[in-house]
Amino acid sequence: MMEQQNYSTDVLVIGSGAAGMMAARAAADKGANVIIADKSLIGRGGATILAQMTVAVALGEQEEDNPEIHFNDTMEGSRGLGDPEIVRVIVERGPDVIREVEGYGVRWARTPDGKRSQVVSPGHSRKRCVYVDILNTGGATSNGLRKAIWKDEKINRLKNVMITRLVRHQGKVIGAVGFSMEEMVPVSISASSVILATGGLTEIYERNSASANMTGDGFILAAEAGAELRDMEMVQFFPIAHLFPPLVGIDPIMWDPFRYKLGGRLLNGEQEEFMNRYAGEVAGKYTATRDMTSYAIFKEVEAGRGTPHGGAYLDFTMVPEEKLREGFGPVIDILRSQGVDLTKEMVEVAPMAHFMLGGVRVDKEMNTSVEGLLACGELIYGMHGANRLSGNAITEALVTGRIAGETAGASSNEKFDDLVKQELETEWEKLQQFWHPKQVAKDETATLEFRRRIQKLMWDEAGPLRSEELLADAQSKIKDLQKECKEFALAKQGKYALAAVEKLEAYNMTLLGDAIIKGAIARKESRGAHTRLDYPEQQEAAVSSSFTLNQDHEWEFSQIELNGK
Ligand SMILES: Cc1cc2nc3c(=O)[nH]c(=O)nc-3n(C[C@H](O)[C@H](O)[C@H](O)COP(=O)(O)OP(=O)(O)OC[C@H]3O[C@@H](n4cnc5c(N)ncnc54)[C@H](O)[C@@H]3O)c2cc1C
């Protein structure tokens, strides 16, 4: 019998970002025993820890606001694809959840009168976004949530455990299997309910704001278990990510919070303001939503009015130095030490893959279409449709995590520990075959280089600007890469074999790339983040793309008319 680790629990949470930690807290509050497993350190992988500033919630502390207005703004921003049921539950529970995490030590910034600070961000019609710090809200949120789950005996934390498969019995999810990355030992976890909180997939693109492990495993785990995915072609591109000059140790999307504070001007290569021609943005203000700004920058570049490196200029030179210093704090000196003096010069910015808009379809209790399986956080579909408003993602993660934990913690499904253990043996054999195929087409150890080829293909041919011709080419190339991925072997594994993880992630990336391309080909319109050069108009009827995975690992695809939703 091989060495293995076998666990049994009431609720298994996979992923420990804001959604996963919140789900673990909520399930334990219901009295359930919980295991939270992550392929990274607990609370330190994924997007949450990277998030910068905004958390949108209708507290109404700086001006009149309520969840109904937040609902309307979000639905409008979604360009007709938001799911009203999901949007409503998130905006309605947002205020309570924001107060709850403050109890765990997430100190929302306050104005001198003691009220929580709230700022406007594009697409929100009110001062709605709370924050801890302009660049560190995600880190502070992770810290607070880690404290909230750390000393609870009901919550067992498994770090560096990659989940590779959900186990099903009679159509129901009964646990999960994977391996401990530190010891390369197989792991099984039997559970009454499984919550997927594995975040997004933007690592699939060459230019991205993600951490390297955001490879979309959860979409594949869910789809392999039979769950339906929606609108996988909808990937948000963050418009003003840093492009040039090269900077070290600076988050490429950090320009956003500074624009909330200081405005800044977006100029084309001819140093003219152009946003007023696309989204009616008033010069020096920051009001256009992300889909419109990304589109506008690409159109300027396409028209030959881009900057030398293919983006737009971001200009703060008209802001007086003391205001700049007040706004940027120590960041202004960090930039200066790298040769960028914002009082005198502009930087170049351009779009970058930032957030997965589509995902696993859930109901308002966060149940997927498969019994025993729930999902939450960036992994789910429904809140953002074709365009996410700034600040709506952390709120989504916190609220949907809490709801998923409550639902799972209150259920009492039967457990099948032995079946899950048995499945581990089968899975471990499959993994060995995947890592070291018997018929090796090519002995290849450079998994990172292989991943770069996927990223480049997705960026060049299925990225921000799409067309039938590019997508058709991408479709055949991604299939070739998928085949190649199955056929190359890893070098002999040592302890903590990172390449084993990277190969699994690369395979998931090819499958997800295929789904994105399929959806993008079928969606013959431009809507929100999805821009088709050959179909520039938005169609009147809104359709949602539906994906399921069949036995042969091929996507079954259809479009569902949303009837004006
Ligand atoms: C740079 C950046 C800045 C952002 N700024 C903001 C902002 O200001 N406001 C806002 O609202 N949103 C922001 N976002 C988006 C927001 O941070 C995310 O949408 C949100 O944090 C997602 O939380 P999550 O819990 O769903 O996923 P994540 O925080 O990504 O956590 C997912 C976890 O799942 C784990 N995992 C994945 N696959 C597996 C597997 N197979 N086995 C085990 N574990 C697995 C990962 O290691 C990770 O720890 C930002 C995102 C980025 C990248």
What pLDDT is stored for residue 565 in this prediction? 45
What's the pLDDT tens digit per position in 306-326?
999 999 999 999 998 888 888
121 has a pLDDT exceeding 80: yes
Ligand 1 pocket, residues with Cβ under 6 angstroms: 14-20, 37-40, 45-48, 50-55, 137-138, 162-163, 197-199, 209-210, 213-214, 217-218, 251, 253, 355, 377-379, 391-394, 397
Please tell me the residue having the least CA distance from ligand 1 atom 48.
46
What's the pLDDT tens digit per position in 366-394?
999 999 999 999 999 999 999 999 999 99
What pLDDT is stored for residue 493 in this prediction? 64
Q: Specify the pTM.
A: 0.95
Return mean pLDDT, the chain. Answer: 93
111 has a pLDDT exceeding 70: yes
Pocket test for ligand 1, best of 7, 38, 121 (most atoms within 8 A of CB): 38
- pLDDT category of residue 288 using cuts at 50, 70 and 90: confident
Q: At 548, phi and psi to the nearest 5?
A: -135, 160
What pLDDT is stored for residue 257 in this prediction? 77
Q: Which residues of 465-474 are buried (b: 16+ CB within 10 A; e: fewer)?
A: bbbeebbebb
What pLDDT is stored for residue 494 in this prediction? 64
Distances (CA, A) of 100 to 16, 24, 142, 148, 393: 18, 14, 14, 10, 17
Whether residue 203 contacts residue 212, with contact meaning beta carbons closer than 8 Å, is answered with yes
Choose between 60 and 443: higher pLDDT.
Answer: 60
Q: Average pLDDT in the 4-13 region?
A: 97
Centre of ligand 1 to C-alpha 504, Å, is 19
Of 28-32, 279-283, 520-524, least confident by mean pLDDT is 279-283
Centre of ligand 1 to C-alpha 536, Å, is 31
Q: How many helices (H) and strands (E) does the chain have?
A: 15, 21
What's the pLDDT tens digit per position in 549-562?
999 999 999 999 99
What pLDDT is stored for residue 312 in this prediction? 95
Centre of ligand 1 to C-alpha 50, Å, is 8
What pLDDT is stored for residue 248 in this prediction? 83
For residues 229 and 173, what is the distance between their CA atoms, to the nearest angstrom? 17
| Share above pLDDT 90 across residues of the chain, in percent, rounded to a whole number | 78
For residues 5 and 352, what is the distance between their CA atoms, to the nearest angstrom? 40
What's the pLDDT tens digit per position in 453-474?
999 999 999 999 999 999 999 9
Please tell me the residue having the least CA distance from ligand 1 atom 31.
17
Could you identify the residue written with the tokens 């938001």?
Answer: 82
What pLDDT is stored for residue 224 in this prediction? 98
Q: Which residues of 79-109 are buried (b: 16+ CB within 10 A; e: fewer)?
A: bbbbbeebbbbbbbbbbebbebbeebebebe
564 has a pLDDT exceeding 60: no
Distances (CA, A) of 53 to 137, 166, 264: 5, 34, 17
207: CB partners within 8 A, 6+ apart: 241, 350, 351, 352, 353, 459
Q: Is residue 157 helix, strand or coil?
A: strand
